[in-house]
Amino acid sequence: MIVVSIANQKGGEGKTTTSLNLAWGLARRGKKTLLIDIDPQANSTGIFLNPEGLEKSMHNIFQSKAKIREVMVKTEVENLNIAPSRLTLAEAETIAAIVDAPYILRDALADLEKEMDFCVIDCPPSLSIFTINALVASNYVIIPLQAEKFSVDGILGLQQTITSIKKRINPSLEIMGALVTQLKPQTLLTKTIIPVLTKYFRIFDNSISDGVAVGESHLARKSVYEYNKSSRQAQEYEGFIEEFLNELKK
């Protein structure tokens, strides 16, 4: 099983959209895929389920060290399962002081190693214990971000966290690259910022342009492919997924 964290400590950068569409796209390609929602806001979960109606969620993983299998739910999308979140997950941040806190998610995933092809983790917009757990459990990190100054300003802290986890806990962790989202290609800001971003990370060749299809797909509780497969954003996410799979072959 290949585990990929979609992470950025800044909100509004496209983490949930990228997590959803990557997981959906992999499932559409016949890959057995698990989407883990580790954000207390539960936006990924809300696409498939009512978070408040759940008996078990990621809260149980962190509070009682349940296994992912115990909270995992099959979605209506073939090959796609979700480990859902709910607002109560925020209460579990108190585990940060526990010695084995960074390893809880990795341990909870262990028995699914041969059952799933991919696990995509939708991280919260912070460098919390949940994001740390995701990075400890992952093989790769993908960083969605906008071509804006404030997006660049937040990169250093995330980069330092990833470097520290790679050095101390998870030597196999790799940054696969940054995915530029909500791109406005013709603006002077975009043309100025993208070269700056390349100093920090590899930038995916594919980017996701600004447009209404993504937001409308969320309202419809669908992937952008299901909502409007001919939209520019749907085609761009398809290109990104192909690029992602090709990177794994290298």
pLDDT at residue 225, as a whole number: 80
Q: Which CATH number fits domain 2-248: 3.40.50.300, 3.40.50.2300, 3.30.1330.20, 3.40.50.720?
A: 3.40.50.300
Residue 144: HSE in the Cβ half-sphere, 13 Å Cα cutoff: 29
Residue with tokens 């990104």: 240
Give how far the C-alpha of residue 89 lies from the chain's centroid of Cα atoms, to the nearest Å. Answer: 17
The helix (H) or strand (E) run that includes residue 156 is: helix 155-168
Domain parsing of the chain, residue ranges = 2-248
Query: Tens-of-pLDDT digits for all 250 residues of the chain?
Result: 999 999 988 777 789 999 999 999 999 999 999 999 999 999 999 999 888 888 899 999 998 888 999 999 999 999 999 999 998 888 887 776 677 889 999 999 998 988 999 999 999 988 889 999 999 999 999 999 886 666 666 677 788 889 999 999 999 999 999 999 887 766 655 667 777 777 778 889 998 988 788 788 888 888 888 878 888 888 999 999 999 999 988 7
